[in-house]
Amino acid sequence: AQSVTQPDIHITVSEGASLELRCNYSYGATPYLFWYVQSPGQGLQLLLKYFSGDTLVQGIKGFEAEFKRSQSSFNLRKPSVHWSDAAEYFCAVGAGNQFYFGTGTSLTVIP
């Protein structure tokens, strides 16, 4: 069965510090992988996606993610976090007709 695991429920970082949000997936075939961000009162916004090719993908707002097949991971990174990055982040895998989302990681940014 397909599943997505985000092991960190909540992360706090200082503004300007680097960030890495972890995502592991379980899927038998080549996955389609996504990261979404959800700000309070807003819908989910796509940050980036991986379908094939270069395993390091660039997204909006300075985010990037690296697909590692051997580790079944798709971790999200940002070199320098801004206060406006505080939000909830969801990793998702596309399989068949459906998206399977992780439980999310809530990011707090402190000045």
Partner 1 sequence: GAGVSQSPRYKVTKRGQDVALRCDPISGHVSLYWYRQALGQGPEFLTYFNYEAQQDKSGLPNDRFSAERPEGSISTLTIQRTEQRDSAMYRCASSRLPGTGNYNEQFFGPGTRLTVL
* Positions that interact with partner 1 (CB under 8 A): 4, 32, 36, 41-46, 49, 51, 90, 92, 94-104
Shortest CB 15 distance to partner 1, Å: 26
Shortest distance, position 76 Cβ to partner 1, whole Å:
14
Please say which residue, 15 or 32, places its beta carbon nearer to partner 1: 32
Q: What's the closest the beta carbon of residue 101 comes to partner 1, in angstroms?
A: 3
Nearer to partner 1, 1 or 111 (CB): 1
Cβ of residue 36: shortest distance to partner 1, in angstroms? 8
- The contacts found for 57-66 with CB under 8 angstroms, 24 or more apart, are 59/35, 61/37, 61/85, 63/35, 65/33, 65/35
Kindly tell me which of 67 and 90 has the beta carbon lying closer to partner 1: 90
The span from the CA of 66 to the CA of 99, in Å, is: 19
Where would I find the beta strands (DSSP E) of the chain?
Answer: 3-5, 10-14, 19-21, 24-26, 32-38, 44-50, 56-58, 64-68, 73-78, 87-95, 98-101, 105-110
Q: Which is nearer to partner 1, 28 or 96 (CB)?
A: 96
